[in-house]
Structure 1
Amino acid sequence: MSVFRAAAIQMRSGVDPQRNAADLVDYVDDAVGKGAVYVQTPEMTGALQRDRKALASVLRGESEDIIVRTASELAARHKIHLHIGSTAIAVEDSKIANRAFFFGPDGNILTRYDKIHMFDVDLDNGESWRESAVYSPGNDTVVLDLPFAKLGLAICYDVRFPQLFRAQALAGASVITAPAAFTRQTGEAHWNVLQRARAIENGAFMISAAQGGVHEDGRETFGHSIIVAPWGEVLAEAAHADPAIIIADIDPALSAAARAKVPNLKNARPFGVLVENDGRSERLADAS
């Protein structure tokens, strides 16, 4: 495993996939010009559209999707690893997948990942989200063995489920990711601490490109794309919600060093959960 330069692209995707694809070309060209060999984009790179009918009208299957086609061409042209944080893809039975794509330097798709955890919440500022009403969730996390590191894939709300990243770390991932379209309210409260926590507790680099700003469909996302080292240092961060590219050099050996200092992955033990109630004990299923 060797040191590599990573870029996280902060976007403000609109409702038109063709315009977003054109922006993608400019951003990737810029990132490569800064020396990046791994480039990550945020969740919903292809379109942010809260109107379900309008979203359905621009969706295509994977073989016809403009973001997939554009990303493949960019990866091959620049001979880079290109990680599309996610884009909406039409799948069977009129369903939609919130799907990440990872392209190799030949332009071929190395792997896909469908977002597992659906953002079904009612925020106290009046925002209400029901991703499960629109998207079909995935079932499997993914760890990709690359020439420069083992990398784990996740998307946005997944970051609140630490067991997913622990499973990736135990599978050997030294780099974990959570490209996102975090709401402004939740981002202001939790984004930075969640990103650093996942890095620290797994002794892994955390790379998360984000959507940022007020979008055409009216939603507002937090931005602040971030790259965190395994010891918790923030290596790069967008200090705002405007479109941007952040860059950091990633040395996977630092992941091994952090895990040697605090070997919590090795020291973990299974345990039970006892619930005590009025002198009676109930043992729940074992956890770990």
Structure 2
Amino acid sequence: MCITLLCVYSAKKISRQLIFVFKTFRMASSISGFRVAVLQLTVTADKSANITNAVNRIQQAKKEGCTLTILPECFNSPYNTGLFRQYSEIIPGGETCQALSKAAKSNGMYIVGGSIPEIHDEKVYNTCTVWDPNGNMIAKHRKMHLFDINIPGGIYFKESDALTAGNTLNTFQLGKFKIGLGICYDIRFSEMATLYRKQGCDMLIYPSAFNMTTGPLHWSLLTRCRAVDNQVFVVVASPARVTNSNYIAWGHSMVVDPWGKILSEASEKDMNLYLDLDFNSRETIRQQIPTENQRRIDIYDTIEIK
């Protein structure tokens, strides 16, 4: 709802008009969506430079009128098991979180801070933080499913050599919309997304860094599947592709609607995506194909253990 207030004042001896214009505002409970930015950032070995680049790009998103900005997985650190501990920091007291908090407050927006290596009780986690327009951390998600794979002739990677898995589902509220969080490999586990849908999520966000082996075949497929299965918007935010890196990211950050349609997709290059999301389409799809009410929970169900 947009409101503009005009007041006119006049006096007998002094004829004048005082006009007070109150800034137009929107009530969170009445809007049907918001504008989102997905930042596909180039990540280098220079942590401070990575943070500065992210902050600058967040400012660009503000100029584009975005309410929510999403950063990629490991945006402040090379994606390398041998470096995670070196780049790790405490949350929320570390330099990356302090920069994100300041950026959220100065730009008046929500920020999903991709992920960074977090150190806690000597353990290292792959952790996503979320910040509100006042600079407060309102959610934190530790990657639940660690990326341990071995594809002969393709890729070998074992996050569990350096990282500890998280154990909880995590959501945050943006106005009337509920958003669930995952990180990269989490997207392969449909049960996790189903639980988020059962919790009432309207959107799922996965900061991610697929590679040149799994990316071409699985990136779009998994993103669209999670969107269609749960009739939610899904966003995957990747680093840009750096061909001389130890780990080469696939790129192709994308936004998918509840129908499984790719609304916007990046190339492999360093770039931003900007998109207006209308959640009315989600309600229409859920009414047309009411899968949530058609589940045979008398035969099967998906439940959260802890």
Normalising by structure 2, we get a TM-score of 0.84
In structure 2, the partner of 1:143 is 171
Is the CA contact (8 Å cut-off) linking 1:143 and 1:152 kept in structure 2?
A: yes
Is the 8 Å Cα contact of residues 46 and 87 (structure 1) preserved in structure 2? yes
Pick the structure with greater CA Rg: 2
When structure 1 is superposed on structure 2, of 125-134 and 78-87 the one drifting more is: 125-134
Instruction: Give the Å deviation of 1:4.
Output: 0.4
Tell me the percent identity.
26
2:26 alignment partner in structure 1: none
* 1:47 to 2:80 alignment: no
Conservation of the 8 A alpha-carbon contact between 1:166 and 1:202: yes
1:154-212 CA-partner distances (Å, limit 9, x unpaired): 11011101111111111111111111011121011111111111111111111111112
Aligned residue number for residue 8 of structure 1? 38
Give the letter aligned to residue 65 of structure 2. G
Q: Separation in 1 of the partners of 2:145 and 2:265? A: 25
Report the secondary structure of 1:249's partner residue: strand
Which of residues 212, 217, 227 in structure 2 aligns to 1:189?
217
1:260 aligns with 2:260: no
Q: How many residues are paired up?
A: 272
1:225 match: 253
State the 1:79 CA deviation: 0.6
Q: Does 1:125 align with 2:153?
A: yes
Bigger fraction of residues in helix? 1
1:156 and 1:181 map into 2 onto residues whose CA distance is 6
Gaps in structure 1 of 5+ consecutive residues: 273-285
**Which of structures 1 and 2 has the larger relative contact order (alpha carbons within 8 angstroms, sep 6+)?**
1
TM-score with structure 1 length normalisation? 0.89
Superimposed CA distance per residue, residues 18-47 of structure 1 (whole angstroms, 9 cap, x where no aligned partner): 111011012111111111110000111110
Per-residue deviation at 1:55?
A: 3.5
Using the TM superposition, give the Cα deviation of residue 128 of structure 1 relative to its aligned residue in structure 2, in angstroms: 1.0
Cα distance in 2 for partners of 1:175, 1:70 equals 25
1:1-288 → structure 2 map (5 Å cutoff): 1=29, 2=31, 3-50=33-80, 52=82, 54-92=83-121, 94-214=122-242, 217-238=245-266, 240-270=267-297, 287-288=301-302
The 3 A distance-change label for structure 1 pair 242 and 69 is same
- The aligned amino acid for 1:257 is T
Partner of 2:3: none
Q: In the aligned structure 1, how far is the partner of 2:294 from the partner of 2:244?
A: 48
Q: Distance in 2 between matches of 1:131 and 1:17?
A: 20
Greater mean deviation of Cα atoms: 206-215 or 128-137: 206-215
With over 3 angstroms needed to count, the CA separation of the structure-2 counterparts of 1:163 and 1:235, relative to structure 1, is same
Give 2:116's aligned amino acid.
Answer: T
Distance in 2 (alpha carbons) for counterparts of 1:14 and 1:38:
24
Residues 81 and 162 in structure 2, CA contact (< 8 A), matched pair in contact too: no
Distance 1:26 1:139, change over 3 A: same
Superposed CA RMSD in Å reads: 1.6
Contact 2:84 2:124 in 1 (8 A): no
Contact 2:72 2:115 in 1 (8 A): yes
Quote the Cα distance in structure 2 between the aligned partners of 1:51 and 1:165: 26
Question: For the residues of structure 1 that align with 2:71 and 2:151, how far apart are their CA atoms?
Answer: 26
Unaligned runs of 5+ in 2: 1-28
